Every structure is written in structure tokens, then in C-alpha cells.
């Protein structure tokens, strides 16, 4: 009998072979729970919490199975390129999840779109002032390799650790001494959509 991860990998490969509209229409919300079971989510949450003890920023992880239909219509009707739609969706979720709501404007969202195996990092203006946008490609690269092999948990753990390392370099926890910040202003648990 095939393992759960090999079954998920085969299903993911089949889904990626479909045309965009069908790929998103057939992806159901249980897909995120299939590739990230509760034990995986708990480990990701623990990595976020551990990383945030090293810096004053906030890191959120959001995993979405598929794009909402309104985004797909932009692709079909307006011809908006898929990477642009993914970036728009990540930015919208950055706002909706209030990742921008930190004392030092140093929140970071790691957004994953399973139907495309796409990853997008959105950082608040305090972080963007210190980290070049192409700097996030170094964070994403190992994650994309793990995703290609169907290991979503390992990819997300690598990304959380890499983002925490960047944040600790620019916003070390020792900054708390001169200006108090709200500790752990946001939940550490990944958001599944």
C-alpha cells in the first residue's frame, strides 16, 4: 500500500498537469490538511515560536489550497499573469491577517499556494527597508526544492528558519531593552485556507 506522502505527491503531480482553471476548481480545502496534517502544523508553529524568541518581528505562515474564483477570473478575463495574481493574493492576505500590525513594522508572511506549488514572501516596510526583495529568493529556493519532492513540511520549516535568521540579523531580540514591544502579537499557528 502506498504511503500517505506518496499518495499526496501523486495527486499533486496529477493536479499540476491540469489547465489552470481546472487545477484550482478541483483542489479542495482538505488538500492543505492532506499535505500538512496536525502534527506538521504543530511543528511549524513551534518553529515560528522558537524563531520569534530570537527577534522582535512577527512571522505568519499561510497555506492556501487554491486561488479564489475572483482571482481566476482576472486570469481568464483580464489576462493577469499568474505570478502577479499570486503576489496580489499574498499581499491581500498579508493585510487581512494583519501581519502589518507590529510595533516596528517588521511582520513577514510566508504564503504558499498548493495548487501551483507557489511560494511568496511579503514583508512589512520596516523589513523591506533592510532586506532587498531579491533577498527573499534565497529563502524560497530550498523551500521550492522540498515542495518539488512533495515534502511540504520540510520546505516550510526551512523557510520559517531562514526568515527567522534574516529577522534576527536585522531585528534582534536584544532590541527589546530600549523600546518595549508587544511580545508575540500574532498567533504562531499556520493559517490554512
Residue 5 confidence (pLDDT): 44
Helix, strand, coil in percent for the chain, rounding step 5: 55, 10, 30
Positions of the chain with pLDDT under 70: 1-22, 24-31, 175-184
Structure confidence at residue 13 (pLDDT): 52
pLDDT in tens, 66-115: 899 888 888 878 888 999 999 999 999 999 999 998 888 999 999 999 88
Domain containing 54 equals 4-192
Q: What is the mean pLDDT of the chain?
A: 83
Number of domains composing the chain: 1
In eight-state DSSP terms, residue 187 is -
The pTM is what? 0.84
pLDDT in the model for residue 3? 38
The CATH number linked to 188 is 3.10.310.50
Amino acid at each position: 500500500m502506498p504511503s500517505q506522502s506518496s499518495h499526496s505527491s501523486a495527486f499533486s503531480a496529477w493536479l499540476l498537469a491540469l489547465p489552470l482553471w481546472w487545477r484550482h476548481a478541483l483542489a479542495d480545502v482538505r488538500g492543505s490538511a492532506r499535505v500538512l496534517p496536525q502534527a506538521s502544523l504543530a511543528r511549524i508553529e513551534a518553529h515560528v515560536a522558537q524563531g520569534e524568541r530570537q527577534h522582535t518581528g512577527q512571522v505568519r505562515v499561510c497555506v492556501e489550497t487554491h486561488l479564489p474564483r475572483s482571482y481566476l477570473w482576472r486570469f481568464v478575463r483580464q489576462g493577469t499573469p499568474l505570478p502577479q495574481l499570486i503576489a496580489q493574493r499574498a499581499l491581500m492576505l498579508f493585510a487581512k491577517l494583519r501581519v502589518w500590525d507590529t510595533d516596528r513594522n517588521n511582520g513577514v508572511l510566508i504564503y504558499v499556494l498548493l495548487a501551483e506549488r507557489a511560494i511568496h514572501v511579503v514583508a512589512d516596510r520596516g523589513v523591506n527597508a533592510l532586506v532587498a526583495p531579491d533577498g527573499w529568493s534565497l529563502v524560497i529556493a530550498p523551500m521550492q526544492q522540498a515542495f518539488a519532492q512533495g515534502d511540504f513540511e520540510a520546505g516550510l520549516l526551512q523557510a520559517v528558519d531562514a526568515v527567522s535568521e534574516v529577522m534576527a540579523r536585522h531585528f534582534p531580540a536584544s532590541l527589546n531593552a530600549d523600546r518595549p514591544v508587544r511580545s508575540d502579537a500574532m498567533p504562531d499557528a499556520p493559517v490554512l485556507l
